[in-house]
Structure 1
């Protein structure tokens, strides 16, 4: 944390705001993905359809992570 404070001009308020600006969009995206997944499952009564949706959801996240890793 001292490195972040030093890089941002020794102001704890600026450091907290900078960290929040980075973390909040990521957490919001994860929350929306989770809620969308829950909404998609609300009508699924059979276990097979739940497994299929979860597999699709997991594959989409894995593909996104793989693309991000290749760009680096």
Structure 2
């Protein structure tokens, strides 16, 4: 049984797809939640000035997250 289980981990495409999904899943989920939060905040914004300020806050949040991630590496 161990030989069969070890044989699945030898670089098959299914393992590669699973590993990619596990590694990128949390990052994609964070981006999706940021986007949905931004859309939810924009739902009541009717004026261009408020839309611009919300977009500036959203892009600043993304930039701060990217800067923190770059420092860790």
Counting matched residue pairs gives 65
What residue number does 2:45 align with? 44
CA displacement, residues 30-54 of structure 1 (integer Å, 9 cap, x when unaligned): 1111111000000011110010010
Runs of 4+ that moved beyond 2 A:
none
Mark the structure with the bigger radius of gyration. Answer: 2
Q: Structure 2, unaligned stretches of length 5 or more?
A: 1-8
Q: CA deviation at 1:10?
A: 2.4
Structure 1 gaps, min length 5? 1-7
- Pairwise CA RMSD: 1.3
* TM-score after normalising by structure 2: 0.78
Deviation at 1:70, TM superposition (A): 1.6
Please give the TM-score of this superposition, normalised by the length of structure 1: 0.79
Greater relative contact order (Cα < 8 A, sep 6+): 2
